[in-house]
Amino acid sequence: MEQGKQGVMVAKVMPQHLQNPIEQLQGRFKELETRFRVWLSKQSLAVEAAVVTTTSAAQGAAIGAFMGTLTADSPATFPTPPPNTSLNPQAMASLKQAQALSGGPLIQARNFAVMTGVNAGISCVLKRLRGKEDVQSSMAAAFGSGAMFSLVSGMGGPNQAANAVTSGLFFALVQGGLFQIGQKFSQPPAEDIHYVKTRSMLQNLGLQSYEKNFKRGLLTDNTLPLLTDSALRDVKIPPGPRLLILDHIERDSDLKEKRGSRR
């Protein structure tokens, strides 16, 4: 801040090179991301699917490699049995599953790359073809990623086809449930049809915070033409906002007409 000639404090604009470097990096990253998305949306389906699959697989590989470093010593816990050792199919399947889930960085990077890459690729193709992203597309993508994960990791018994279908179904059911839960919590609350005009009036006047007062007093859209100072005072709206609301009603031709017809 600087002292102006007339004693007024004047704010100095901070030069760009003195701004927060983290904010600058975030702004540049968002700009690059936006440009990349715009470019990708203009490409063919094959190019878009290939790019999305590759980038998602790379991200999954990085996550898997990191998680693999946390379980790098786990393979020693599940050693491979000697060739002459006879194990029943169920025990051998359990051992393979444990080894697949507890592999080192390279194994986990491969597994996660397959899961995320296949899931993102199928989702991209279905969204482009169907024009929307719903629970069916999400479950189809999860089925594909689960089946491929089963084939690559070697989980389950000797029947790889059956294991792939089983894993795919399990992934699809889990993903479908998570999608439905996410949709339920992400949807905005249904608009109260009894307060549409009231909400619009309060927003225009900058008095949105008093919508709860209207609802407490059951002052719906139908009561707007009947509002009086005492009615607004009863729902604990201060004098200033009361004057603005009553003036708005007097100036609104529709509300004024309804007010006159009911008197």
* The domain boundary residue, chosen from 184, 201, 236: 184
Q: Which residues contact 69 (CB under 8 A, 6 or more apart)?
A: 104, 105
Q: Distance between CA 242 and CA 248 in Å, rounded?
A: 10
Contact 172, 180 (CB under 8 A): no
What mean pLDDT is predicted for residues 17-31?
75
What residue has token string 């059956």?
162
Residue 120 is predicted with a pLDDT of: 93
Which of 129-133, 212-216, 219-223 shows the lowest per-residue confidence on average (mean pLDDT)? 129-133
- pLDDT, tens digit, 9 for 90 and up, residues 106-121: 888 898 999 999 999 9
- pLDDT, tens digit, 9 for 90 and up, residues 58-93: 999 999 888 888 765 554 444 454 554 454 554 444
Q: Are residue 216 and residue 174 in the same domain, yes or no?
A: no
* Domain limits for position 66: 30-76+90-184
Contact 168, 146 (CB under 8 A): yes
Q: Are residue 211 and residue 105 in the same domain, yes or no?
A: no
* Residue with the larger pLDDT of the pair 186 and 118: 118
- pLDDT, tens digit, 9 for 90 and up, residues 237-248: 999 999 999 999
Q: Are residue 70 and residue 148 in the same domain, yes or no?
A: yes
* The domain boundary residue, chosen from 161, 184, 207: 184
Contacts for 74-81: CB closer than 8 Å, 24+ residues apart: 74/102, 74/103, 74/104, 75/99, 75/102, 75/103, 75/104, 77/102, 78/102
In a domain, residue 225? The reply is yes
In a domain, residue 2? The reply is no
Q: Are residue 72 and residue 160 in the same domain, yes or no?
A: yes
Does pTM top 0.75 for this prediction?
Answer: no
Q: Distance between CA 17 and CA 182 in Å, rounded?
A: 41
Query: Can you name the residues that pair with 2 across neighbouring β-strands?
Result: 10
Q: Distance between CA 11 and CA 112 in Å, rounded?
A: 52
Domains of the chain: total: 2
Residue 78 is predicted with a pLDDT of: 45
Q: Distance between CA 185 and CA 107 in Å, rounded?
A: 35
The beta-strand segments (E) located in the chain are 2-3, 9-10
* CA end-to-end distance (rounded Å), the chain: 59
Contact 248, 204 (CB under 8 A): yes
Closest CA to 61 of 121, 105, 123, 120: 105
Q: Length of the chain, please?
A: 263
In a domain, residue 11? The reply is no
Closest CA to 100 of 85, 89, 112, 90: 112
What residue has token string 């599953």?
97
Q: Distance between CA 90 and CA 113 in Å, rounded?
A: 28
Q: Distance between CA 239 and CA 216 in Å, rounded?
A: 18
Question: Which two structure tokens, joined as six digits, stand for 49?
Answer: 């699917």
* The domain boundary residue, chosen from 130, 159, 184: 184
Query: SS3 for 218-249, per residue?
Result: CCCHHHHHHCCHHHHHHCCCCHHHHHHHHHHH
Question: Which two structure tokens, joined as six digits, stand for 224?
Answer: 């707007």
Q: Are residue 144 and residue 180 in the same domain, yes or no?
A: yes
Contact 94, 155 (CB under 8 A): no
